[in-house]
Amino acid sequence: KTEKFRIGLTRDFLTPGGGLAIGDNALRLLEKETRVSYKFFPKLSSEISPDQIAGYDAIIPLAPQITRNTLSKGNLELSVVARCGVGYDNVDVKALTQQNCILTIAPDAVRRPVATGIITLILALTHELLAKDRLVRDGRWQDRHQIRARGLSGRILGSIGIGNIGKELFRLIRPFEMVHIATDPLVNPGEIADLRVDLVDLETLMRQSDFVCINCPLTTKTRGMIGERELGWMKQTAYFINTSRGPIVDQDALYRIVKERRIRGAALDVFSAEPLPDNNPLTKLDNVILTPHSICWTDECFQAMGDSAARSVLAIFSGQVPESVVNPEVLKKPEMIRKLKENSQRWESLGPD
């Protein structure tokens, strides 16, 4: 084959008006490379269909799922799915591996934006930002002394998970002089020695923390990990923050506990079902901040995600192994080795830019 490498992007990259939702310059690396062409899927769907991926050498998805059905048609030309983001619970990794396809993610792109988003939510909660905003809008300026904000010095920040994002959170929030604790069965204490974070068990973290932050991926082990019992361990003065994945938490239990003021408040960027229905009872609570799974969406994040995905597909097209491969076992499969070799030959035949 001597035609250009073809890349398909899911429709949610585009705004209703046809603009690029992640910023006009986010796909700059693809636009500069003459050996590739890219198109956006003609329609938006929650699950990518087999017909949508037909003929593409690479797919760059945002939110839509990639399931076993997506890959059900034989003779796939697909070499890589380059996920714009760090989570991949919406991708059937095993099916991709069986179909000799690499999955990559963009952890460096979201590490700083998510961590700063968490700090934004912590500050908004403790400074009673929404309540103060309502005072002005309701013409109740004289009631401002009734709202008491809280400082962070000496408070205990607990992270469930201390991977890429958890580590960055503790680095960035260090000047606030908080006490740092975390729980993560996969982390060796030596990995986090420079962060001055004490590793504890889940119950200790839930009971001691003034802020409980979810920073772990959604897996079979973490799904439903935080329920009525675990939330019941929290202090009445504590806050709960989830910017990871909604199904990690029993959302109904969280609603009851926040509504009954058994904790002081919560901030949620993710939910058990998305988008959150308009009539969801969480929207009626005044001690909860809700954001639409977008707390990390900044110009820096979009640029870095676009660059990361582009580097992944361009590396594979030139026969190289990209960074942040989720399923490295596929690289040892003879069919994948053959694909990479053929890609390299095709890349060279197309000539330099």
Q: Which residues are catalytic?
A: 245, 274, 293
Amino acid in position 318:
S
Structure tokens at 174: 């260090």
The total number of residues shown for the chain amounts to 353
**Closest CA relative to residue 276, chosen from 266, 286, 284, 287:** 284
Which residues fall within 8 angstroms of residue 300, CB to CB, at 6 or more apart?
112, 113
Cβ-count burial 231-258 (b if 16+ within 10 Å, e if not) = bebbbeebbbbbbbbbbbbbbebbbebb
Instruction: Could you list the beta-strand ranges (E) of the chain.
Output: 5-9, 36-40, 58-60, 80-82, 102-104, 156-160, 179-183, 198-199, 211-214, 239-242, 265-268, 288-290
